[in-house]
Chain A
Amino acid sequence: DAGVIQSPRHEVTEMGQEVTLRCKPISGHNSLFWYRQTMMRGLELLIYFNNNVPIDDSGMPEDRFSAKMPNASFSTLKIQPSEPRDSAVYFCASSLQNSPLHFGNGTRLTVT
């Protein structure tokens, strides 16, 4: 079991640039979640998908953020344009039905 795979592990970019974070969920899982972790706000749910369909994106902070899940084995979270306040660790998690979430190791994003 390879677990949830996220790439890159670290991303450093300049303000205004586009950032794309990638996630490969555990094979067979039908729900996928994107979380953001910061010291100030803790873990925030940004968006989640069920069977590749976005169910709730109310946690997406602004229109600069977008997420896609083109198939059951891949999802992206895009920030365009990026801002320094977007600096955080972004986690992807997947689950099957109502089983517990399995988390990836995260992408640490730094926007300068």
Chain B
Amino acid sequence: AQSVTQLGSHVSVSEGALVLLRCNYSSSVPPYLFWYVQYPNQGLQLLLKYTSAATLVKGINGFEAEFKKSETSFHLTKPSAHMSDAAEYFCAVRAGGGADGLTFGKGTHLIIQP
């Protein structure tokens, strides 16, 4: 079984500041990890994925995440926040490369202060 914990249901940063959204996972097998973003009244859009290749993964919109096995973490970062980054962010895990569904964290609402 696998699970995801996202620390902080709300994160507020100033425009131009570093964005750091935290995700810790639990998995009995090597995990595949994902970050999705959800804008109001829309579905989830894939930001980036880790599938056992490079531990530092670059995604869309300037986001990246680093897989750290020793810390069971997959934190999402962006060097400089933009107003358009305001959204809900979800971390998700899948057990390896199977065709199972993803297990999602509760989500983190990112607020960008002008």
Considering only residues 80-114 of chain B, those with a C-beta below 8 Å from chain A are 90, 94, 97-107
A104 within 8 A of B: yes
The answer to whether B46 touches A48, judged by C-beta atoms less than 8 angstroms apart, is no
The answer to whether A104 touches B90, judged by C-beta atoms less than 8 angstroms apart, is no
The answer to whether B45 touches A103, judged by C-beta atoms less than 8 angstroms apart, is yes
> Within the complex, what minimum Cβ distance (angstroms) separates B65 from chain A?
14
A66 within 8 A of B: no
A98 partner, pick from B32, B36, B46, B104, beta carbons under 8 A: B32
Total interface residues in chain B, CB < 8 Å: 23
The answer to whether B90 touches A43, judged by C-beta atoms less than 8 angstroms apart, is yes
When chains A and B are docked, how far (Å) is the Cα of A93 from the Cα of B100? 12
Q: Mark A50-81, 1 if CB is under 8 A from B, else 0.
A: 10000110000000000000000000000000
A31 partner, pick from B41, B99, B107, beta carbons under 8 A: B99
Task: Decide: A42 near B106, CB < 8 A? Known: A103-B45, A104-B43.
Answer: yes
B18 within 8 A of A: no
A48 neighbours in B (Cβ, 8 Å):
100-101
When chains A and B are docked, how far (Å) is the Cα of A30 from the Cα of B98? 13
When chains A and B are docked, how far (Å) is the Cα of A106 from the Cα of B104? 16
A35 neighbours in B (Cβ, 8 Å):
101
Could you list which residues of chain B lie within 8 angstroms of chain A, going by C-beta atoms?
A: 32, 34, 36, 41-46, 49, 90, 94, 97-107
